A and B are shown apart, each in its own frame.
Chain A
């Protein structure tokens, strides 16, 4: 069992993710430079969070043409292993068309309501209006499908806590794609209690149809030890590694 954490110019969660896999889960892990295209030796490939290429143009839009991402379709096609994109990694996977939909600018409604009432205009929240904001906080998530390599260590309907930190995390997709995601149970985690970014169907994490490619906006590597919170994130990495070991 061998894992890789890809390092793009601008990745900034690569070392945290590497640390969790290597030191907490205990699997052989390499930091993989984004120009590498030899992926067959890895059972798990993680595209970490960060700001690859400064989020220029759109988050993930330039990284998706990086050599390592160009090599992913073949890796996925032959079901060599599992691919996980966290935050910017999720954005890269949707830009590359390896996961459906797109992640676009956050829509935060609570902020708008507050600013309107503070200005004394007496207006309530205007339907369909919001504010673009970078959000960095811990959120509650509901496990919508626990029969997947990513979520198998959680109970169905369990509420977990993970931090989010993104400006472009609003999941959007055409309605037929949303219906297909629901039908195939490809929605794995949803925001619980409040929807922080305006994602359709409160979507926080999805997988592809074959259950080999995973994308999530929350950061499991930032809550993998009790010191940093509930430690829920560790179970996500442990679950993925368990699946990889079973298929080796």
Chain B
């Protein structure tokens, strides 16, 4: 078994209005960072996972992300797997 650092990044779906992202974007503008667009605020869940391979780790994490870490009605996610 190898150990992997897993990072699941969850964000609101592009077609969904994200009031958090809009509030942050307005503040970014006011603080001098211009030309910002499409700001989204999501969450990042990280953990370590023992698995036989990176592909096995990715597959298991993707399954649990679809079921639990993200709500497919309102969110999309991506999975990053890095061998330790």
Tell me, in angstroms, the Cα distance from A128 to B23 when the chains sit together. Answer: 12
Q: Is B47 an interface residue (CB 8 A)?
A: no
**Residues of chain A within 8 A of B12, CB atoms compared:** 104
Tell me, in angstroms, the Cα distance from A109 to B23 when the chains sit together. Answer: 12
Q: In the complex the two chains form, is A58's CB within 8 Å of B71's CB?
A: yes
**Residues of chain B within 8 A of A174, CB atoms compared:** 73
Chain B positions 14-51 with a Cβ under 8 Å from a chain A Cβ: 16-17, 19-20, 22-23, 43
Q: Which residue of B lies closest to A107 (CB)?
A: B19
Say how far A195's CB is from chain B's closest CB, in angstroms.
13
Q: Is B69 an interface residue (CB 8 A)?
A: yes
Q: Is A131 an interface residue (CB 8 A)?
A: yes
With contacts A61-B71, A95-B71 taken as known, whether A104 is within 8 angstroms of B16 at the C-beta atoms is yes
**Residues of chain A within 8 A of B68, CB atoms compared:** 57, 61, 65
Tally of contact residues, A, Cβ under 8 A: 22
Say how far A162's CB is from chain B's closest CB, in angstroms.
24
Q: Which residue of B lies closest to A177 (CB)?
A: B73
Q: Which of B23, B69, B74 contacts A104 (CB 8 A)?
A: B74
Tell me, in angstroms, the Cα distance from A172 to B73 when the chains sit together. Answer: 8
Chain A positions 48-67 with a Cβ under 8 Å from a chain B Cβ: 57-58, 61, 65
Q: Which of B20, B23, B69, B74 contacts A172 (CB 8 A)?
A: B74
Q: In the complex the two chains form, is A132's CB within 8 Å of B23's CB?
A: yes
Q: Is A173 an interface residue (CB 8 A)?
A: yes
Q: Which residue of A lies closest to B22 (CB)?
A: A129
Say how far B22's CB is from chain A's closest CB, in angstroms.
5
With contacts A57-B69, A102-B74 taken as known, whether A172 is within 8 angstroms of B19 at the C-beta atoms is no
Q: In the complex the two chains form, is A130's CB within 8 Å of B71's CB?
A: no
Q: Which of B17, B69, B73 contacts A130 (CB 8 A)?
A: B17
Q: In the complex the two chains form, is B71's CB within 8 Å of A102's CB?
A: yes
Q: 19 additional contacts, CB 8 Å, given A94-B73, A172-B74?
A: A57-B43, A57-B68, A58-B71, A65-B68, A102-B73, A104-B74, A105-B19, A105-B20, A106-B19, A107-B19, A129-B19, A130-B17, A130-B22, A131-B19, A132-B20, A132-B23, A172-B16, A172-B73, A173-B73
**Can you list 6 residue pairs at the A/B interface with Cβ under 8 Å?**
A107-B17, A129-B19, A129-B22, A130-B19, A172-B16, A172-B73
